[in-house]
Amino acid sequence: MRFPIHATLKDGTPVELIPAGADDLSAVQNLHRVIIEEGTSYPHQEPLDAQDTWDFWYSDRLPVGAYVSDRDRRDLVGVFYLKANFPGRAGKVANAGFIVDPGWRNRGLGHLLGTTMLDYAKNLGFHSVIFNLVFAENHASRRLWKKLGFVEIGSVPKAVQNDDGTFQDAIIMFRALT
């Protein structure tokens, strides 16, 4: 798989997928902050500082960003990371995380990031991908992953505390690549 990847979203917007580097840390941190504040898909309760953002998105991961560019600027509108879920003998099982800017949802960006991640994981030699923590109430995410061939293989009851103090289950989703 070669980056950059040039694609067009459902609404005709051109996007470019490239590995996110150190220069993108602030943009990743800002987008992740928005997602944390939504409280519907990531376990963090508070925004991460620059070091924690680096540790979460970069340290043992391969982050890829989706950018929309015009002549004057380049905006990060989505990003995913890919990493081994387990070490050693189980190192062929990948794990990934995704965020999409709320203003860019329902345009096909999540689908594009998901299919790119699956191709990338396969090209890197992973045999499967597992999501350890899909919020049960995140129906859009669960629909997307099912559309991309993932199956729900289990749940962790009351794993996620909502902002209102109630709890929801975490769904474990899996897809073979071989």
The yes-or-no verdict on residue 71 having pLDDT over 70 is no
Q: What is the pLDDT of residue 70?
A: 63
Indicate the average pLDDT of the chain: 94
Contact 175, 150 (CB under 8 A): yes
The pLDDT tens digits for 27-42 are: 999 999 999 999 999 9
Q: Which pLDDT band, with edges at 50, 70 and 90, does 60 fall under?
A: confident
Second CATH level (architecture) for the domain 5-130? 3-Layer(aba) Sandwich (3.40)
Nearest to 161 by CA among 135, 140, 141, 142: 135
Could you tell me the pLDDT band of residue 122, with boundaries at 50, 70 and 90?
A: very high
